[in-house]
Amino acid sequence: MTRGVAVRILLVEDDEDLRTEIREYLQRRGHDVTACGSLDDARSAVRRLAACGMAAEAIVCDVNLPDGNGIDFYAASAAELPACRWVLMSGAHDAARIDGLSAGKGLPRCTIVEKPMSLRILNGALNRI
């Protein structure tokens, strides 16, 4: 993602306050953000955006969600969204598992951001991918 370029981002975070904080932060930087509180909502958003010809260009997803795991969402969805860039957020991430998925299945590169995080670190991760 090039600095200063607006990107369509799908944000998946179950903590409502954190989701709002991240969404507003990214919107202030000019990005178009669709925010979801669950993987079920995220899957629906992926289909809805694709149907409108507006697929997400980046997905920022929590790993531990009440209705599933962000790593599994990445593994299942990344092949359908080959141009999409991924950032997984986790307080207890499994970097080796994510790296293994990326390399073994030819999935797009995924950046891991450890929580708690500053929003600047998240923004930097988006700018690096």
H/E element, 34: strand 32-36
**Cβ atoms of 123 and 95 closer than 8 Å:** no
* Other CB atoms within 10 Å distance of the CB of residue 6: 13
Contacts of 128 (CB under 8 A, 6+ apart): 111
Say if CB 38 and CB 66 are below 8 A apart: yes
pLDDT at 129: 58
Overall size of the chain counted in residues: 129
Res 104: pLDDT: 57
Q: How is the chain split into domains, by residue range? A: 8-128
Q: Give per-residue pLDDT as tens, 56-78.
A: 999 999 999 999 999 899 988 88
Classify residue 115 by its DSSP letter: S
Residue 105: what pLDDT? 65
In the chain, which stretches have pLDDT less than 70? 1-4, 92-105, 129
pLDDT for position 36: 98
- CATH architecture of the domain 8-128 equals 3-Layer(aba) Sandwich (3.40)
Residues 6+ apart with CB under 8 A from 108: 78, 81, 82, 83, 84, 85, 86, 102
66, 86, 65, 83: which is closest to 75 by C-alpha?
86
